[in-house]
Amino acid sequence: MRIRKLSTVVATAATLALLATACSGGGSGADDDSTGGTGGASDKILTIGMPNGPQQPNQNPLATGSASLSLGYAFAVYESLMQVNELKPTDPPTPWLAESVEWNPDSTQAVITAREGVKWSDGTDFTAEDIAFSIQLRKDNKELNTDFPDQYGDITVDGNTVTVNFESGQYVNRDKLLKLLIVPKHLWENEDPVTWTDDEMIGTGPFKLKSFTPQAVTLEPNTDYWGETPKVGTLRYDTFNDNAGLTTALTTGEAQWGWTFIPDFENTFIAKDPEHFHQVAGGGFGVDVLYLNNETKPFDNVAFRKALNMVVDRSDISATAGYGVWPQIKSVTGLPQPSGDAFISDEFADQELTVDVAGAKEVLTEAGYTWDGDALVDPDGEKVTFTLQNPTGWTDYLDALGIIAEGAKELGAEATVEGVVQDTWFNDIIPFGNFQATLHWTDGGSTPWNMYSNIMDGASYVPLGESATWNFGRYKNDAVTAALADFKAGTDDNARSAALDVVQKAFVEDVPGLVIWSRPAVAQYSTVNYTGFPTDEDPYANPQPTGPQAALILSKLVPTED
């Protein structure tokens, strides 16, 4: 077995105690002659677009599926403890609302030092109590705790520091703590944090909520912002019904920043204005997975899961459905390459996914499947049928599902592709397991742990009908759950390597889900009004507007010179 040196997310306290050079001193844009808007900001509008359809009036930045998270404006109003560059996860993070975060050797305790001199947008002082309260909210409310389910221990405050204890080591989850959004205790402590719609949105971020409609949200600069006063005078978030609608908005200039799948993006988008239109993408461990419901037919039978995996043409999916934007997965371990090369077990080092219809039929035959003419019949005597679901308008996903259905047909299984309402998919289909097969992304991170945990971790298992945060396919394997816990808590590279070998062997043999393609962070933007976005040459942040990095990116944007 090869010994792989695994990256450390945050090596030492020293690497965390960095100066926030890009964020110090408010009001620096007030005397800029190029600005003419509110508080010295430009009078140019920056419109961000997302293809998520009309939104309900829910501004809660902690509630999965809220409008503020779906469109991303939560991240311009509320801020995280640190800025983490997801494209370079081994780089030290940049202090933000926390001046430092110090971890103990086994990653079971984090000591957070709050930044001084920060105010909430209603004028109230920001303190360490707000950090502790925001983390306690997640501990006390399962619905809000997607990152550390059942893992928080005691959370205490001493002056300007917060100590967060965990029930197990968080080696692979340090970034998740750093990226948590912080909310004001003085407003949230008397509300139900799960159901509250947070209509006023009092945050520490560079922008404040001005207006909301189901189709468009407008933000205005927070002129008392603790960091670099934003030079963007008006921030607008428009929502479109599908990828095609947002693509049109980006190509016409109606929207200037967003992320969507654009088929043939070079000709469809960039060629419309090569000087100003850009698409950027970064690597990492994020993938898209065909989650299979392991507890219902036909995917409760491992033989059919294996057979389907053997007939899915990932090369065709990447080229046809993904237009080469989403790189093909080749390793049987599901790991994207080259990011995952150092983590592939020796047992699978040279094994690649190939289309093998004859081999898949042999697997089925050995498991007791038969055929009635061309129709596949399971061991119970029932014809094999299933439905593939994803939100209407998500064209890359739906096209990929179509190719998967073609592969299933080669086996004699009847697969139907069904578009569904996005809100229904987010809030009912995915969490409660009301599907047979559906595509969904995984978290990234600096190791493969998130990818495998999101697919296979028994620590995230809940019965069908209960709301799951991950492991949507309800896979259960005690050895895998223990190995994932060992990897997460481990302080020894050899032990983590051995744990990952266990996980990968189960992934290959049990096929709990099908990794379809790699999912680098992709965004499109226009420099007609503003410049300073992340580029391929300067990938200083995940380029998408729907994450904590939005506050950092907005601090770097300046009006384009006419």
CATH number of the domain within which 323 lies: 3.10.105.10
Q: For residue 165, is it within any domain?
A: yes
Q: What is the CATH number of the domain that holds 217?
A: 3.40.190.10
| Mean pLDDT across 321-342 | 89
Share of the chain above pLDDT 70, in %: 92
Tell whether 251 is covered by a domain: yes
Percentage of the chain lying above the pLDDT 90 cut: 78
| pLDDT, average across residues 38-46 | 81
Residue 293 in any domain: the answer is yes
Lowest mean per-residue pLDDT among 119-123, 285-289, 479-483, 506-510: 285-289
Mean pLDDT value across residues 102-128: 96
Q: Are residues 309 and 416 in the same domain?
A: yes
Check pLDDT > 80 for residue 338: no
Q: pLDDT value at position 340?
A: 85
Q: Kindly indicate the confidence band of residue 88, based on its pLDDT and cuts at 50, 70 and 90.
A: confident
Instruction: Determine, yes or no, domain membership for 460.
Output: yes
User: What's the structural domain count of the chain?
Assistant: 3
Residue 8 has pLDDT above 80, yes or no: no
Q: What is the pLDDT of residues 397-429, one digit of tens each?
A: 999 999 999 999 999 999 999 999 999 999 999
Same domain, 178 and 236: no
Cα separation values, 544 from 58, 73, 364, Å: 21, 12, 43
Q: Looking at residue 1, what is its pLDDT? A: 34
pLDDT at 2 over 80: no
Asked whether the predicted pLDDT for residue 3 surpasses 70, the reply is no
Asked if 98 and 121 sit in the same domain, the reply is: yes
- Specify the amino acid at residue 217: V
| Position 382 pLDDT exceeds 80 | yes
Please, what is the average pLDDT of the chain? 90
pLDDT digits (tens, 9 = 90+) for 428-438: 999 999 999 99
* Residue-level pLDDT at 120: 98
pLDDT at 372 > cutoff 80: yes
478: phi then psi, degrees, rounded to nearest 5: -60, -35
Looking at the domain assignment, is residue 8 inside a domain?
Answer: no
Are 444 and 324 members of one domain? Answer: yes
Question: Does some domain include residue 509?
Answer: yes
CA-wise closest residue to 503 among 480, 481, 471: 480
User: Does 1 fall in a domain?
Assistant: no
| Beta-ladder partners of 83 | 94
Residues 167 and 254 both lie in one domain: no
The answer, yes or no, to whether residue 33 has pLDDT greater than 80, is no
Measure Cα distances from 472 to 58, 211, 287, 395, 508 in Å.
Answer: 25, 35, 15, 22, 18
Q: Are residues 399 and 291 in the same domain?
A: yes
Q: Is the pTM of this model over 0.75?
A: no
Confidence bin at 263 (pLDDT 50/70/90): confident
Q: Whole domain around residue 478: which residue ranges?
A: 287-518
pLDDT for the residue numbered 55: 94
pLDDT(7) > 70: no
Is 335 in the same domain as 421? yes
How far is Cα 144 from Cα 435, in angstroms, rounded to an integer? 23
Whether residues 235 and 304 fall in one domain: no
Query: Nearest Cα to 186, choosing from 247, 248, 127, 272?
Result: 127
Q: What is the pLDDT of residues 210-241, one digit of tens each?
A: 999 999 999 999 999 999 888 999 999 999 99
pLDDT: is 492 or 68 the higher one? 68
Per-residue pLDDT at 4: 34
332: in domain: yes
Pair (314, 378) in one structural domain: yes
Backbone conformation region of residue 88, classed left if phi is above 0, alpha if psi is from -120 to 50, else beta: beta
Considering the domain architecture, whether residues 341 and 319 belong to the same structural domain is answered as yes
> 184: domain CATH number?
3.90.76.10
State the pLDDT at residue 39: 56
The predicted structure's pLDDT at residue 38: 52
Amino acid at 215: Q
For helices 243-252 and 395-411, angle between their N-to-C axes, nearest 10 degrees: 140
In this structure, are 234 and 309 located in the same domain? Answer: no
